[in-house]
Structure 1
């Protein structure tokens, strides 16, 4: 399956679930359950492939799906069953990502990738989240930290096609370029 078709399928299913959750006033509850389902997929990375494997009997597959369904609300259980019926269990992580994207849009949440030379303390993270939420006009910021000692200090912030590079490495490169000019 091509990447575009895969994302189109994930988008369709994610949007359908989000629409259903909105109508039932369960947007947050379903999101929390999807986070749990994502964890299941991370713990058993081949789950989608297992449920698509012809070597497994239908009875075995149905039992696995029923175990999954029993862990969640009726709404999500029915959704999981539909995804299974249409042979899309191996695309569940992409579907969850699409729902999360819609959830973040709904509540003004943005994801910010932050690269630093050393790990940020919890206090620094909270302070940075507040400052970035204000700067990006968001209700909330979800930080995705990354360590890169080569930046030497400072940080690089990336979000929504914007990059703010306040790293020591970039500052030194800029000074070097000015000296050579």
Structure 2
């Protein structure tokens, strides 16, 4: 089974169990804390992914590191991952869990790059327009990208909306070189 498919299945199993067991908020908070810990500790991720360290040792490591933040039900899940030799996929499983949770809640992640920093009002207006366009709640990640020269680019999943001056200049150049203008 591919790593992505397995990660999605484990994430879905945890999400389903958390919904049915009514501990969704606790599981989500715990996974966010675990994700942050893993992001700040390459060594821990390396240990979890190492084939040289057996499942019992990984279980012990997971318990020592996460017992305070995970809660009993998430710890059961972490033990299962170690037992099934999937502890090394924990970062990917958490990522898939977040995607599934966002999908369930109708949230879409959007990247917005702008040539200049947008004012709060402009950013809010753009997010509202994107919410109307997608029909979902928008979680926007704003980034300053001066190379755009002006305007914005918006990435919604696999779709890029390029309203930058740089793009318009490139298109104009293409038309001029092709003799179509």
Question: Structure 1 length normalisation: TM-score?
Answer: 0.83
3-state SS of 2:138 partner: strand
User: How many Å apart are 1:27 and its aligned residue?
Assistant: 2.5
- Structure 1 unaligned blocks of 5 or more: none
C-alpha distance in 1, partners of 2:97/2:51? 29
C-alpha distance in 2, partners of 1:128/1:159? 13
Q: How many residues align?
A: 177
3-state SS of 1:46 partner: helix
Matching residue of 2:169: 172
Contact kept in structure 2, 1:52 and 1:87, CA below 8 Å:
no
CA 1:62–1:16: 2 relative to 1, 3 Å: closer
Question: Structure 2 length normalisation: TM-score?
Answer: 0.83
User: How many Å apart are 1:48 and its aligned residue?
Assistant: 3.0
- Structure 2 unaligned blocks of 5 or more: none
CA 1:114–1:97: 2 relative to 1, 3 Å: same
Contact kept in structure 1, 2:59 and 2:83, CA below 8 Å:
no
CA 1:7–1:55: 2 relative to 1, 3 Å: closer
C-alpha distance in 1, partners of 2:159/2:52? 47
3-state SS of 1:21 partner: helix
Matched, 1:134 2:136: no
CA 1:33–1:164: 2 relative to 1, 3 Å: same
3-state SS of 1:73 partner: helix
User: How many Å apart are 1:177 and its aligned residue?
Assistant: 4.3
